[in-house]
Amino acid sequence: MSAHNLHCLTCHVLVSIPHALTYMTPCCSRWVCDACVSRLPQLLQFCPYCQDPRCGVWGVREPPPYEDEEKRREYGDELPEYEESCRDAMETKKMPLEKEKEDCSAVHYVQPTDTVVGLALKYNVDLTLLRRTNRIFHDNDIHARTALLIPGYAGLSVSSSPSPDDERKARLKRFQLQSKCIDPAEARVYMDAAEYNVEDALERYRDDLAWERAHPKPEGEGSRLSAGGLRERK
């Protein structure tokens, strides 16, 4: 008799007298003591080691076979192709995003006093949806924008179009955020030279930074800004 056969399968008590083990499972030949059988009669119909109710002493009828013909009628003979399944899932996922874009029927021109929470309350739109539609990762990001889309709002915008001065200020701030130029006067020089085209101003600013790295200034020399505003270009 093996070592595990001297222990009760349920309570794991070591039994030195074999006749105290009154029941052996027919599936794995493990013993169950009389006390456990008296306390849990269902052990005669279920083997806790094999986890199979059909291993009990009384046996259980086999489950009915699957109706293959009915399955074929319900699911078809072939499984859908993997690419088609992925394509359907992607199209389903894109539908809400496309609907959000269609629902963006109002444009709000950002004012200096605007906040994301305030705009959500003003237009009665979901705050998370407003952030996601405009890709706002931090609430202060809105002040680097000229306008925001208001998703799911069918009324008229409650903001007025920005004045030329406000537009220039917004572009100047956007240039500073993207270039990390902390000097407002220097940023204004680049924006004036580029006629307030942010991309042109950024290109000039980065060119000057690259030129400065390639031609280090002697100690005590002034800024790269010349009397005309920018580094003199040959």
pLDDT tens for residues 51-96?
Answer: 765 554 444 445 555 555 555 555 555 555 555 555 655 655 544 5
Q: Give the whole-angstrom CA distance, residue 22 versus residue 35.
A: 9
pLDDT of residue 11: 79
**CA-CA-CA-CA torsion for 131, 136, 142, 146, nearest 10 degrees?**
-90
Cβ within 8 Å of residue 113, ≥6 positions away: none
| In a domain? residue 47 | yes
Residues 174 and 108 in one domain: no
Residue 138 or 218, more confident: 138
Asked whether residue 3 carries a pLDDT value surpassing 60, the answer given is no
pLDDT of residue 156: 67
What's the average model confidence in pLDDT over 128-150? 86
Tokens of 220: 């005590």
Backbone angles phi, psi at 129, to 5 degrees: -65, -40
Task: Identify the DSSP state of 52.
Answer: B
pLDDT tens for residues 21-52?
Answer: 567 788 887 877 888 888 878 777 878 777 76
Asked whether residue 100 carries a pLDDT value surpassing 50, the answer given is no
pLDDT tens for residues 152-208?
Answer: 777 666 777 667 887 788 788 888 888 888 898 999 999 999 998 989 999 999 999
Tokens of 14: 């070591």
| In a domain? residue 224 | yes
pLDDT of residue 18: 56
Residue with tokens 């003003």: 122
| In a domain? residue 217 | yes
Range of the domain at 74: 68-161
Q: Give the whole-angstrom CA distance, residue 127 versus residue 117.
A: 7
Asked whether residue 106 carries a pLDDT value surpassing 90, the answer given is no
pLDDT of residue 61: 47
Residues 156 and 227 in one domain: no
Q: Give the whole-angstrom CA distance, residue 150 versus residue 107.
A: 6
Residues 134 and 72 in one domain: yes
pLDDT tens for residues 213-230?
Answer: 888 877 666 555 544 446
Residue 61 near residue 42, CB atoms below 8 Å: no
| In a domain? residue 62 | no
CATH number (domain holding residue 19): 3.30.40
Tokens of 231: 């580094």
pLDDT of residue 22: 67
CATH number (domain holding residue 95): 3.10.350
Backbone angles phi, psi at 49, to 5 degrees: -80, -45
Residues 228 and 176 in one domain: yes
Residues 75 and 7 in one domain: no
CA 148-149-154 angle, 5° bins: 135
Residues 36 and 105 in one domain: no
Q: Give the whole-angstrom CA distance, residue 96 versus residue 90.
A: 11
